[in-house]
Amino acid sequence: MGGILSGASNAKQQKAVGSLQFQTSQSGGVIPLVYGTTRVSPNLIDYDDFKAVPSNRQGAGKGGGGGKGGGQQYKYSASVIMGLCQGPIAGISTIWWDKNIGALSSLPAAVYLGNDGQAVDPYWQTYHPAKVLGYSGTAIIVANNFAMGNTATLPNFSFEVQGLLSLSGTNGQDANPAAIVSDFLTNPRYGTGFPAANLGDLSLYSAYCQALGLLLSPALDTQQEAQQCLGDIAKLTNSAIVWSGGLLKIIPYGDQPVTGNGTVYTPDTTPIYSLDDDDFIAQESSVGTGSGLTPGGTALRTGSGPITGGFSDDPVRVLRSTPADANNSIQLECLDRSNNYNTAIVEAFDQAAIELYGVRRDSSIKARAIVDPVNVGPLVAQLLLQRAQLFRNAYQFKLGWKYCLLEPMDLVQINDPRLGASALTVRITSVEEDEEGTLSITAEDFFDGYSTAVVYPKQSGAGYVPNWSSSPGDVNPPIIFEPPAALLTGALEIWVALSGGPGWGGAQVWISTDGDSYALMGTVNSPAAQGLLTMDLPPHSSPDASNALAIDLTESQ
């Protein structure tokens, strides 16, 4: 019967464990760079004071049956220092350890935010002065004489870290991507060493992300190229990275004004040039050399002059991809802050394209910098889907040196009667210059309004998550009794029936004869069925087959 604790057990004598077991302790690993607010697993960087203390009491059997005396019990403790990430951080919110969830106050530990020149821990300064370090610039957790119970293993910790720039967004948790890029490139301590003078104005990019709510919380915890980090951020925020005039710029694809979160984004959708046959330079072919009027002029296109060969017949080349090959389903692997930062899959799809061509799914996008799969994730997925479905044409043409101010993300108009293009607005995606100063330009379609997505309501897919650290409440008044002789194996025993409220899952039972020193009697792992009589039982001779015993068992259910 669950919750019944009695005497004897044949438990074997336990041996004390000689060293601490822990989750991760890695030398030479990457110190994570955390922006915004996300969940981070620590790295054990030092420990001492490992102790295995015998309990000096006999452990009894487990709940449900019993015997007298168990094996020798040991209680373990150690002082540990765990590294989190690059500092300074703003703080720590939620803590996870094994199956438990709680606030920082539930853990007997000190947090050092990772400021430059941060002070050493006073306990380690006093008891371990030969090895004490301040770990300047690194956020750490220090738990001195941390009690691990009857196992010599540290719990599997993880922490919700309010990292760098967590207050730069509108929700007080996530970071504005423009602020992330600037800090990542130019921070003098942990940045890439990129010159601040070569970083362009990111105010337009910042306004775009802020107005749309495209806020991120990336945790850079693996070694990778800086350009990959920047490329991932730009892709998730519907923007392009441009190097022009000695400056690094990030320009949004967004083509509609957006007002939100106290910010206004106003895109520039005015074409810089209107190009026609007088502007294009035709490419020389392998047939021979050309003669006649100026290649690329109107006469070349209309055939009004003698052309003996040597030039392509159309200075504007159009490259088209079939819609059957375009991705019509985009899946993002995000994190869900509302579900303990577990992985969440966000999908956007074009049902009409799927019915025509079948599913063409891109599931390779890792978007773990997104921790809001309800608002941010669907918006990003929809924008990526629209680019995959709609922006499939590429235009290639050559211009003279006088158009050297053109750069990627600029808008121009193409006029080409043979292509049926009249004031066709395109967006430049690349500009290359050859040895003679000729500019080879590649552009894509510009559909006004199609680089902005409608945000439809979404719902989080969080399931049931038990909180193993919730308060169990008080134990119900125990029932202590001598069992009938028919239930005993020979020796006299005293049984205890225990139960609690809905959150009660068991308890250790300690006994004392003087109220001062206690011995461990045993462990109860499930509640006993106990309760109160709801009415008196009338007297009757034994056996009583007439009266029913009415009991309310609510307190133990």
Q: Going residue by residue through the chain (557 aa), what tens digit of pLDDT does each one get?
A: 455 555 544 444 455 555 566 666 666 778 999 999 999 999 999 999 998 888 655 444 333 444 444 456 788 899 999 999 999 999 999 999 888 888 888 888 999 999 999 999 999 999 999 999 999 999 999 999 999 888 888 889 999 999 999 988 788 899 999 999 999 999 999 999 999 999 999 999 999 999 999 999 999 998 889 999 999 999 999 999 999 889 999 999 999 999 999 999 999 999 999 999 889 987 554 334 444 333 444 433 343 444 344 445 678 899 988 899 999 999 999 999 999 999 999 999 999 999 999 999 988 789 999 999 999 999 999 999 999 999 999 999 999 999 999 999 999 999 988 888 889 999 999 999 988 889 999 999 998 877 776 656 666 666 666 666 777 888 888 888 888 888 888 788 888 888 888 788 888 888 888 888 888 878 888 888 888 888 888 888 888 888 888 888 877 77
Q: Report pTM.
A: 0.78
Q: Which residue type occupies 311?
A: F
Q: Which residue type occupies 185?
A: L
Structure-token pair, residue 301: 């296109």
Q: Alpha-carbon distance 535 to 537, whole Å?
A: 6
Q: Alpha-carbon distance 156 to 346, whole Å?
A: 28
| Strand ranges, E, within 217-306 | 219-220, 239-244, 247-252, 258-260, 263-265, 273-275
Q: Alpha-carbon distance 140 to 111, whole Å?
A: 6
Q: Alpha-carbon distance 298 to 293, whole Å?
A: 9
Residues 6+ apart with CB under 8 A from 98: 155, 156, 468
User: Within 237-375, where are the H helices?
Assistant: 298-302, 351-357
Structure-token pair, residue 195: 């010159």
Distances (CA, A) of 73 to 5, 49, 57, 114: 18, 19, 7, 39
Maximum pairwise Cα distance, the chain: 130
Q: Specify which residues 58 forms β-bridges with.
A: 72
Distances (CA, A) of 489 to 2, 307, 480, 552: 19, 115, 19, 31
What SS3 state is found at 328? Answer: coil
Residues 6+ apart with CB under 8 A from 176: 165, 168, 169, 206, 209, 210, 215
Polymer length of the chain: 557
User: Within 67-145, where are the H helices?
Assistant: 122-127
Tell me the Ramachandran region of residue 490: left when phi exceeds 0, alpha when psi lies from -120 to 50, beta otherwise.
left
